[in-house]
Amino acid sequence: MTNRREFILKLVPLAGAAAVLPRVAMAEVPDLTESDPMAIAMGFVLDTTRANQAKYPKHTTEQFCGRCLHFTKPGADKARCDLFNKVVPHHGWCSGFSKRP
């Protein structure tokens, strides 16, 4: 039978791990590269001016990650894209672009 003290002593390390894990997980989110298979499939480029206009005729240079709903930290130079779950630059672009209202 577990008494209250033993129960609390078991919780303390778990609480400490829970506090550290999100920071570790965020630090390990990799950058999205143009050679990533999903990036290729979505026409991702690190710079919106290099988007394939023939393949994506609706693309304009007014569209870039920093203005996209999937860019998780508006105003930052780079942030995690929640479509790829990888870090993308503010001026990147892919065909999943969805304008932030």
Interaction site with ligand SF4 (CB under 6 A): 44, 65, 68, 70-71, 81, 83-84, 88, 92-94, 96-97
Q: How far is the CB of 55 from ligand SF4 (least distance, A)?
A: 15
| Cβ–Cβ < 8 Å for 31, 92 | no
Which secondary-structure segment (H or E) carries 89?
strand 86-89
| Cβ–Cβ < 8 Å for 93, 45 | yes
- The tally of CA atoms less than 13 A away on the side-chain side of residue 94 is 25
Q: How far is the CB of 6 from ligand SF4 (least distance, A)?
A: 47
Nearer to ligand SF4, 9 or 53 (CB): 53
Nearer to ligand SF4, 9 or 98 (CB): 98
Q: How far is the CB of 35 from ligand SF4 (least distance, A)?
A: 14
